[in-house]
Amino acid sequence: MENPKIRILNTFKGKKIENIVFSPRIYYWYNENKMFYKEKQKQYYKASIPQKYMGKSQHEIYQILNASPRYIFETYYIQLFETKINPDAGIKITHKRGKEREEVIKTYSTPLGNLQSITKNFHIQEYPVKSLEDLEIMKFILDNSRFSFNNDKYQKAEEIMGNIGVISEYVPRSPYMTLIVDYMGFFKTILYLKKYQSEIEDFMQHIDIWNDQVFNAVNSSPLKIVNFGENIDANLSPPHYFEKYLMPYYQKRVKEIHRNGKLCHIHMDGSLKDLLPYFNNLPFDGLEALTAYPQGDVSLEEIKENIGSKIILDGIPSILFLDEYSNDFVLEYTKKVLDLFSPNLILGVSDEFPPNGNIKKLELIAKLVEKYSI
């Protein structure tokens, strides 16, 4: 029987497979519920979790579920990509706790001035770039940062994962999405694009040039599949901006990826209705985390109609794993996903199995997938 690694690669290559691969991302559920503790500590758990999962590694849980992990960092905490600051540039990055619980203040001290960001539970509360002057400081930081791929860690990951999945990671975001998600936030990015278009576009070009080293490293690596972890949402990247700033970037970078014999997909997990007409023309081999009703704003049928022959990764909205949705409803929904998208499907949760999700539903889906005939 084919192992999951072969089936994933064959799915992307359009070759015949024996079964659909089940690949739910359990990273947040696992860490939020402190599943790594050897003894159950009830105060940490947000859902009723069977004893057989207690103290297990993610790798072991995937084996119990007969499922495949997707990202090496999420599952095994192995960082394949590294970004290092030039030690002679006079840049110092510090982290300290904020006033509130789980709040972290990150400060970039540079010869041109300082930047500060604040995160809480890994969500940005304060963005580092707050003015045009801050753009120059961030340019300086980028100019003195080097991106690389760690081949030794890749070899370690190969040994640990074996044939349970394909080693994969997500690359840094496109310039436009980097501004929105990491540097400035949506409101300031759009405001500044209207008030200071040439300056912001120049900065995006600066990020694009920096990203050359990202794709040089990825394209020369042994990775076979990479993800563009964009977190696309039509509210943050409406058609006008999607056409102007994202489509050309994707076409250029995916062309490089394909020229080097690699496969890729993009993470799109928000409101998507306004972007449906672009799906078929996207250059990616697959689309990850597309979220349909009752969580998203599109139907499974609309997704099917617009993606052409592309692979869909996931398909089952994460909200269905809450107790308000019955096991029968989830299985019926999963069967619909299987019927609509097989064999161009890597089945999973759009986009994460939630911390308070019922893992027994994953067990039921795993059994359904095992019996499903393509």
Contact criterion met (CB below 8 Å) for 318 and 354 = yes
Cα(144)–Cα(353) distance, integer angstroms: 37
Model confidence band, residue 38 (pLDDT cutoffs 50, 70, 90)? low
Indicate if 125 and 268 belong to the same structural domain.
no
Model pLDDT for residues 321-361, shown as the tens digit of each residue: 999 999 999 999 999 999 999 999 999 999 899 999 999 99
Indicate if 78 and 186 belong to the same structural domain.
yes
Q: How high is the pLDDT of residue 1?
A: 67
Indicate if 91 and 74 belong to the same structural domain.
no
Indicate if 184 and 234 belong to the same structural domain.
yes
Cα(146)–Cα(219) distance, integer angstroms: 16
Indicate if 21 and 117 belong to the same structural domain.
no
Strands 145-149 and 168-171: unpaired
Q: Which residues pair with 82 in a beta bridge?
A: 148
> Does 100 have pLDDT greater than 90?
no
- Give the phi and the psi of residue 50 in degrees, each rounded to 5: -60, 145
Mean pLDDT of the chain: 95
Indicate if 127 and 150 belong to the same structural domain.
no
Contact criterion met (CB below 8 Å) for 68 and 21 = yes
Number of domains in the chain: 2
Model pLDDT for residues 11-35, shown as the tens digit of each residue: 999 999 999 999 999 999 999 888 8
Q: How high is the pLDDT of residue 23?
A: 98
Model pLDDT for residues 115-153, shown as the tens digit of each residue: 999 999 888 999 999 999 999 999 999 999 999 999 999
- Count of residues in the chain: 374
Q: How high is the pLDDT of residue 41?
A: 55
- Give the phi and the psi of residue 179 in degrees, each rounded to 5: -60, -45
Of the candidates 356, 350, 351, the residue with the CA atom closest to the CA atom of residue 49: 356
> Does 46 have pLDDT greater than 70?
no
Enclosing domain of residue 241? 4-85+135-371
DSSP 193: H
Indicate if 162 and 232 belong to the same structural domain.
yes
Of the candidates 51, 48, 3, the residue with the CA atom closest to the CA atom of residue 29: 48
Indicate if 93 and 207 belong to the same structural domain.
no
Cα(286)–Cα(347) distance, integer angstroms: 12
Contact criterion met (CB below 8 Å) for 66 and 370 = yes
Indicate if 339 and 361 belong to the same structural domain.
yes
Alpha helical stretches, state H, 53-196: 58-65, 72-76, 132-143, 151-161, 175-178, 186-195
Contact criterion met (CB below 8 Å) for 336 and 10 = no
Final residue before a domain boundary, out of 134, 164, 198 = 134
Q: What proportion of the chain, given as a percentage, has pLDDT over 90?
A: 90
Indicate if 22 and 46 belong to the same structural domain.
yes
CATH number of domain containing 280: 3.20.20.210
Indicate if 253 and 293 belong to the same structural domain.
yes
Indicate if 15 and 34 belong to the same structural domain.
yes
> Does 244 have pLDDT greater than 80?
yes
